[in-house]
Amino acid sequence: MNDGPISKSVFAAVEAGGTKFRAALMSASFEIIDEAWIPTTQPIETTEAVIAFFSSLQRADALGIASFGPLVVDPESPNYGSLADTPKPGWSQFGLLRRLQEGLGVPCAIQTDVEAAAVAEHQLGAGQGFSSVGYVTVGTGIGAAVAIDGTPFRGRDHTELGHIPIRRIDGDDFEGICPFHGDCLEGMASGPAIAKRWNCDPAQLDERDDVWDLEAKYLAQLVRVYAYSFAPDIVLFGGGVGARPDMAQRVQKCVAADLAGYSVSHAQNDQLVKRAGLGSNAGLVGAALSAAEIVRGWQ
Ligand code: ZN
């Protein structure tokens, strides 16, 4: 990492989530100097609290935002940095980037929470040393991104790999809970899907191999999509379900069967899946890294 004047910088980082915003002032070595957790209510109220938090602290050099989606990340779009249509009341089309940039008065970068996490894992987490890093979070939803040489892969906008169609496992007649697709991956394998399928809080299913083996069979189908779409070096799992201690190993076992010996990747397919390294800080650290990129661009 480039030192120089950046080593004296401080960064504002915001991880915007569906239930809470996490705002932090971070050092040049990406340690948290001060942070606040703010409930996600209405957009104006929530962002006002974020701006007030930062206003009480040392002025940051730049702001990085890692936001829930869907988010317009096409810089050429007039809606760049705004939420797209979201079931979250009041947030559709809200201009999150503009609002925080104007409120803080510093340059600002924005990406999705999973893009930020993928970049953070590549630079500082379990993806260090690899050029192509997939990151999947499995929790209240399923989000997935890939960072290629430290930059999120995008087309016109960010990818939505959590909503891929999947092949139903024999004997599973659960209808799925995605409000858009029913039985897409998120509809079949997110935390709320597990809770509904088994009629039980996932935290109380710890000892149930059948629950987690079925979960792994669904998540492995996403790894197959990764392998054949992006040829990643590694796919990292995070989030409340994804970071369970044995989840990555279970998924890895299923991946070998799913790929069936057919590989277009030079990666070692028996070591494709690992647990993410930065835990719940991945998105926030990724946000700070994007703020650091802005400052680095000045040098
Ligand atoms: Zn879906």
| Distance from residue 289's CA to the centre of ligand 1 (Å) | 30
Question: Amino acid letter at 286?
Answer: G
| Distance from residue 143's CA to the centre of ligand 1 (Å) | 11
Q: Which residue, chain included where needed, has tokens 């190993």? A: 249
Torsion of CA 78, 82, 84, 89, to 10 degrees: -140
User: Residue 264's pLDDT band (boundaries 50, 70, 90)?
Assistant: low
Lowest mean pLDDT among 120-129, 217-226, 265-274: 265-274
Compute CA distances 111 → 89, 117, 249, 287, 290, whole Å: 21, 10, 29, 8, 8
CB atoms within 10 A of CB 275: 18
Mean predicted lDDT score pLDDT of the chain: 94
Q: Is the peptide bond before 70 cis (omega within 30 degrees of 0)?
A: yes
Residue 265 pLDDT greater than 80, yes or no: no
State the DSSP code for 92. T
Please tell me the distance from the alpha carbon of residue 136 to that of residue 221, in angstroms, as a whole number.
12
| Distance from residue 190's CA to the centre of ligand 1 (Å) | 10
pLDDT at 3: 52
Q: For the segment 62-76, what is each residue's pLDDT rounded down to a tens digit? A: 999 999 999 999 999
CB atoms within 10 A of CB 240: 15
Residue pair 171/159 in contact (Cβ under 8 Å)? The answer is no
Please tell me the distance from the alpha carbon of residue 282 to that of residue 68, in angstroms, as a whole number.
14
Residue 146 pLDDT greater than 50, yes or no: yes
| Distance from residue 147's CA to the centre of ligand 1 (Å) | 22
| Distance from residue 177's CA to the centre of ligand 1 (Å) | 8
User: Residue 267's pLDDT band (boundaries 50, 70, 90)?
Assistant: low
| Distance from residue 222's CA to the centre of ligand 1 (Å) | 13
| Distance from residue 168's CA to the centre of ligand 1 (Å) | 14
Mean pLDDT confidence for 93-97:
98
pLDDT at 124: 97
pLDDT at 4: 57
| Distance from residue 182's CA to the centre of ligand 1 (Å) | 6
| Region class of 166: left (phi > 0), else alpha (psi between -120 and 50), else beta | beta
User: Residue 34's pLDDT band (boundaries 50, 70, 90)?
Assistant: very high
Mean pLDDT confidence for 127-134:
96
Looking only at the bridges linking them, the beta strands covering 142-148 and 151-152 are antiparallel
User: Residue 263's pLDDT band (boundaries 50, 70, 90)?
Assistant: confident
| Distance from residue 141's CA to the centre of ligand 1 (Å) | 9
Q: Which residues pair with 148 in a beta bridge?
A: 132, 151
Tell me the domains of the chain and their CATH numbers: 6-112+280-296 (3.30.420.40), 126-277 (3.30.420.40)
Lowest mean pLDDT among 109-123, 171-185, 194-208, 255-269: 255-269
Percentage of the chain modeled with pLDDT above 70: 97
| Distance from residue 184's CA to the centre of ligand 1 (Å) | 5
| Distance from residue 161's CA to the centre of ligand 1 (Å) | 9
pLDDT at 2: 47
Residue spans of alpha helices (H) in the chain: 43-55, 96-104, 113-124, 185-189, 191-198, 209-230, 239-242, 247-259, 282-298
| Distance from residue 164's CA to the centre of ligand 1 (Å) | 7
Whether pTM > 0.85 for this model: the answer is yes
Residues 6+ apart with CB under 8 A from 195: 201, 202
Please tell me the distance from the alpha carbon of residue 72 to that of residue 78, in angstroms, as a whole number.
9
Closest CA to 114 of 83, 144, 86: 144
pLDDT at 299: 74
Q: Residues for the chain: how many in total?
A: 299
| Distance from residue 151's CA to the centre of ligand 1 (Å) | 25
| Distance from residue 14's CA to the centre of ligand 1 (Å) | 26
CB atoms within 10 A of CB 74: 15
Closest CA to 114 of 73, 54, 75: 73
User: Residue 1's pLDDT band (boundaries 50, 70, 90)?
Assistant: very low
Could you tell me the two tokens for 141?
């939803």
| Distance from residue 133's CA to the centre of ligand 1 (Å) | 23
Please tell me the distance from the alpha carbon of residue 208 to that of residue 200, in angstroms, as a whole number.
12
